[in-house]
Structure 1
């Protein structure tokens, strides 16, 4: 079998026994070894490939919390505050005012059938000072064509009067349908349970958008360009159609990444959900890895739907919104843990963290399970005492470091205030306590770019250049580990990916500069290429 040895200026392996090298040998899609060519030649004839001789090689980046929606939301209109590039690389200019939002909607409202909804996404009114985004702003665009705008966090939607009528929101008495002073739906709909009547009425569900091969391929290509070789879809419906699409897309030899979907637990009865995941395991192969279960407890801090402990929000409502009663999450944790499955749990606010830690504590007491690797996701406001519980329980964290840049300025003055902003995304504290953690982007909430995420974790700078939490900065070395081996550990895939050592898949990211020695900000380092199983997949 052919042995190919890729030479490089430097190789960072993430293997503590051999941290660096200048040559990585690949055979049969796996790492044969890192070492001098003459040592590799002991295995047989070696073909030297020096195309990366002036580059730096690192393990393929692992994005441990992202969504295949990144490949489908771009079918709809982007209304975000920040400039973004779609999967094909087209730049969409961010919108800085409510008037600009109205204008972009107005430019597209006459396109398509007036009976079909106009769907947009990415909007985050928290940037618009005290401006109100509700049905009135959308009615000014159209009162007859249904308009649905999905919040950047994916936890809130804004709808116009036509949508309110079609979905019958006036007659629904449920948490999450925000009402004005007259008791009428304001056009703001919070969290998933309240969104579903809208989805049902319009025969459209944005969360089902990733259940097709085109979306999955667009998602994979967007990740590949940023050096990612393993991605997640951390809220997959795992319907029959979704599984077919996942299998079909990843079966293609040129599919450039490994894909790890997680069951959306709230969409399933726990018994049926665990059976679905167990059945899906038989479809696992090198580029597709079933086995995860995702629970979403609360919302997002920036739209005031995360569940916070005292003193609550700095301004705005007293507290956020549960996606189900806390007892439901307690029962789900018990069930999926006892079933032997691997849970990833969305916990933005510190109250949500407590609910899940209490449930895990009880589950592990009743059914001890070494190396369970249940992972709390986001943990934006996790406290020091909660981190100590995480360490004691043997759980992992996946920290939303990008959040500091995109919403840190907002948290400082609107949602949390100075003191709690210092502990946002506390990666350094997790590291000090020996907790295994990854860091992530949560695409499409923020763009896929592990190097940008690593930059956020090392600098903790907001969009306005304010540093939040100097004591929670981590080193470049720890950040590189968090986007490779740390994230792989949280997915229970560190035996196959995350480092360059014999037997693991030869998944490699090729960088223009050395992230551990250059003065160039991490977010500005170019991704030259990615290799999956030792095969180049195209430029960055």
Structure 2
């Protein structure tokens, strides 16, 4: 009897932890079985599989086709991948899913290959065409909105101005958002609508660029930009805002993400996202990180590691500085070749006061709240590391997983400290494609440009990291992330930092199992293992079997959340 009980206990243990092949678990009948294509699991113990069985939204079996088919019953659906490749669903390491909805519903001002804007006349034409084609959206918002212009890609090599946008309309507010998301431009009507004029005082943590007479020239950096955008979008009612949010989740799902992030939310947005979730209108999971400077009570009340109707407040967000390509990141030295109107010693600026940074980190550590911190420039990161070191010494070590977001201009000594303090780096290697040439020639120079988003340096220290898109900075294009993390090729074809490149499997882990860890979800997401959620993405080909230089040609064919298809690529 003792031997028999031991055997039964062993089978139960093996069943629970997926240690037996499917043939020994035949009593469990699958809802679906996927086979007929490569399956990359992101599980080092079983890196590839021939088939996967799913039951009740979770993975029932993974392994050889013959073993997994032992779970096939009369009602089991067999899905033939047709040679396409299945991976775990992508986990959004850092993005702004609500703002992605604005991107999806506004004029596309991106440069090629994501858009058609190459100069100010083409920008104006795009805005005019969009407004003419979308009168209902213009009426609902009360403005013509465009997203994604980039002065570094415009022939004029400057930001558009109020006068440039007045050429689009003088009767309707026109507001365009820089690709970085940290700068905007308003026409005269939009400036009037938000109350900016020659008498408007400067706002801490930002700049209202002005003409010689003190009138705003339309370009708004950081704080005044966010103020203007919030006020202009204040005309959108709850129904319209819910539509924006759902459009954001729809767009990111089309790129293979089964978990999305709203990486800097406000209390009103949290309330709205919760309402959408409670109505059962989310197809994928959404994690939200409200701004710690304005929503501390809300964070303390709602922060949880469990989803409710596919939504959860996961922690707090702090923003120390701005955009490196927009010259608003806070550096420890002057920029290499900034625009002519900057002084030679210009090094960017902080978006918050030092006391605010230290207080926010202290509060998060004291209350065991995970905090994500946007820090791009070296000076901003110095401040963040000092604040985390101070808090850790005060409250002691714990599994808090504080996250450094971006870290574009990290020094080698800072990476050492990031490791020592057990900070999780979420890096932005997609910058090497979009702005690698710009960083090489203008922001940091050719030597330091090689080390932006230093994924290679992080891996050489044995650290893990995540790769993100920060959409709507660009489209949440998972294959662009993968390509940039592996090849680091810029728009011009230059390799920005050969020593910082990583292999394809590492890059895939930085989009799956490692960001799942970042979110405290490695036990249920990020790899194809028995017991985990059946979150999958199906790609057109095997990224480990093709020429790495062609990774950006891969396409997402299907996105599957808990065994249910939530996106299929149009034929």
**Common fold: TM-score over 0.5:** yes
The reply on whether 1:512 has 2:560 as its aligned counterpart is no
**Corresponding residue number in structure 2 for 1:297:** 320
| Partners of 1:285 and 1:276 in 2: CA distance | 14
| Partners of 2:477 and 2:190 in 1: CA distance | 35
User: Which of 135, 141, 150 is residue 124 of structure 1 equivalent to?
Assistant: 150
| Partners of 1:15 and 1:120 in 2: CA distance | 42
**Corresponding residue number in structure 2 for 1:163:** 190
**Corresponding residue number in structure 2 for 1:413:** 441
User: Which of 287, 290, 305 is residue 310 of structure 2 equivalent to?
Assistant: 287
| Partners of 2:286 and 2:70 in 1: CA distance | 35
**Corresponding residue number in structure 2 for 1:397:** 425
Deviation at 1:470, TM superposition (A): 0.3
- 8 Å contact kept, 1:402–1:446: no
CA deviations 1:272-312 (Å, max 9, x no partner) are 2433434xx49823622322211111111111111111133
User: Which of 156, 161, 164 is residue 137 of structure 1 equivalent to?
Assistant: 164
**Corresponding residue number in structure 2 for 1:182:** 213
**Corresponding residue number in structure 1 for 2:487:** 459
Question: SS of the residue aligned with 2:213?
Answer: coil
| Partners of 2:330 and 2:495 in 1: CA distance | 25
User: Which of 86, 97, 103 is residue 119 of structure 2 equivalent to?
Assistant: 97
Question: SS of the residue aligned with 1:72?
Answer: helix
Pairs within 5 Å for 1:319-330 = 319-330=347-358
Structure 1 residues 188 and 244: alpha-carbon distance in aligned structure 2, compared to 1, 3 A threshold? closer
| Partners of 2:368 and 2:140 in 1: CA distance | 49
Pairs within 5 Å for 1:42-441 = 45=73, 47=76, 49-68=78-97, 69-84=99-114, 93-107=115-129, 116-128=142-154, 129-166=156-193, 167-175=195-203, 176-191=207-222, 193-195=223-225, 197-199=227-229, 202=232, 204=234, 212-239=241-268, 242-249=270-277, 252=280, 255-268=282-295, 270=296, 272-278=297-303, 281=304, 284-285=307-308, 287-316=310-339, 317=342, 318-441=346-469
Structure 2: unaligned runs, 5 residues or longer: 1-27
| Partners of 1:371 and 1:31 in 2: CA distance | 27
Deviation at 1:18, TM superposition (A): 1.4
| Partners of 1:197 and 1:429 in 2: CA distance | 37
Q: Which has the larger radius of gyration?
A: 2
- 8 Å contact kept, 2:338–2:443: yes
Deviation at 1:247, TM superposition (A): 4.3
Structure 1 residues 33 and 147: alpha-carbon distance in aligned structure 2, compared to 1, 3 A threshold? same
Question: SS of the residue aligned with 1:351?
Answer: helix
| Partners of 1:343 and 1:325 in 2: CA distance | 17
Deviation at 1:45, TM superposition (A): 4.7
Deviation at 1:406, TM superposition (A): 0.7
User: Which of 552, 556, 564 is residue 523 of structure 1 equivalent to?
Assistant: 552
CA deviations 1:308-356 (Å, max 9, x no partner) are 1113342233122322213212211111121111111111111111111
Question: SS of the residue aligned with 1:448?
Answer: coil
Structure 1 residues 325 and 169: alpha-carbon distance in aligned structure 2, compared to 1, 3 A threshold? farther
The reply on whether 1:22 has 2:69 as its aligned counterpart is no
Deviation at 1:423, TM superposition (A): 0.2
- 8 Å contact kept, 1:29–1:506: yes
Tell me how many residue pairs correspond in the alignment.
524
- 8 Å contact kept, 2:264–2:291: yes
**Corresponding residue number in structure 1 for 2:506:** 478
* Root-mean-square deviation over aligned CA pairs: 2.7
- 8 Å contact kept, 1:306–1:321: yes
| Partners of 1:106 and 1:45 in 2: CA distance | 57
Deviation at 1:243, TM superposition (A): 2.6
Structure 1 residues 251 and 518: alpha-carbon distance in aligned structure 2, compared to 1, 3 A threshold? farther
**Corresponding residue number in structure 2 for 1:88:** none
Question: SS of the residue aligned with 1:171?
Answer: coil
- 8 Å contact kept, 1:115–1:145: no
Moved more, 449-458 or 139-148: 139-148
| Partners of 1:114 and 1:536 in 2: CA distance | 32
Deviation at 1:392, TM superposition (A): 0.4
Structure 1 residues 32 and 260: alpha-carbon distance in aligned structure 2, compared to 1, 3 A threshold? same
- 8 Å contact kept, 1:127–1:410: no
